[in-house]
Amino acid sequence: GDVAVLVPAAGAGVRLGPGGPKALRLLGGEPLLVHAVRRIAAAPSVHTVVVAAPAAEVDAVRRLLDPVAPVLVVAGGAERQASVANALAAVPPGPAIVLVHDAARALTPSALVEAVAAAVRAGHQAVIPVLPVVDTIKEVDADGVVLGTVDRSALRAVQTPQGFRREVLAAAHAAAGDPLTDDAGLVEQQGVPVFCVPGSEYALKVTRPFDLTLAEQLLAAGH
């Protein structure tokens, strides 16, 4: 394998509600992080997995993942971007491609990991999985009054795993300023083109309680 996958898993899960760090919340009796790492490790291209865990949970996460797959576990940071940077710093020499994948996208198919890695291998410096936006999107002011309707045809909802030539991601993080919600955003700031590939409905991010209910149903249905 020529791919390292960084798994930011150090978030609190505020939008999911009380119950501890989101990556450790249970889905079908196993933590979201376990589901995510199992699917990542099943992708044939994956050589190394580095998890950024909540600082207080690093040892517990090591024990949790030991029977699942060989992984490195580091402490995350206060923002997702810092967690990714910590994980990136722990990647050993070797892998030429680095993917960044949210633990919260627990049911992401291994095939999507492979597809993103393959697009980087084929020559793209940065690759993101995307879906079309299905709702009508409006811009609204602070009083709730509509300012206008946005042209949806040019918009995409962005998922992970996001894939990069290793040196491209490293340079983007080295130059990073204010925290962004994804890694492609940092690469865009460097003027590097970012290429889109088709995402997957199963790569939904468990963010709110409804998402956890949906993911439970998808897991029970065999995904």
Token output for 172? 């983007």
Whole-angstrom distance, CA of residue 112 vs CA of residue 58:
27
Residue whose beta carbon is closest to Mg ion: 11
**Judged by CB under 6 A, does residue 161 bind ligand CTP?**
no
Closest by Cα among 163, 23, 19 to 104: 23
Residue ranges in the chain assigned as alpha helix (H): 32-41, 58-65, 80-89, 110-121, 166-174, 183-189, 209-220
| 129 touching ligand CTP, by CB under 6 A | no
Neighbours of 213 (CB within 10 A): 11
* Binding residues for Mg ion restricted to 11-50, rule: CB under 5 A: 11
Check binding of 102 to ligand CTP (CB under 6 A).
yes
- Contact residue for ligand CTP among 15, 17, 96, 198 (CB under 6 A): 15
Please report how close the Cβ of residue 94 comes to ligand CTP at its closest, in angstroms: 23
Q: Is 205 in the site for ligand CTP (CB under 6 A)?
A: yes
State the number of binding residues for Mg ion (CB under 5 A): 1
Binding site for ligand CTP (CB under 6 A): 8-15, 22-23, 52, 76-80, 83, 102-104, 205, 207
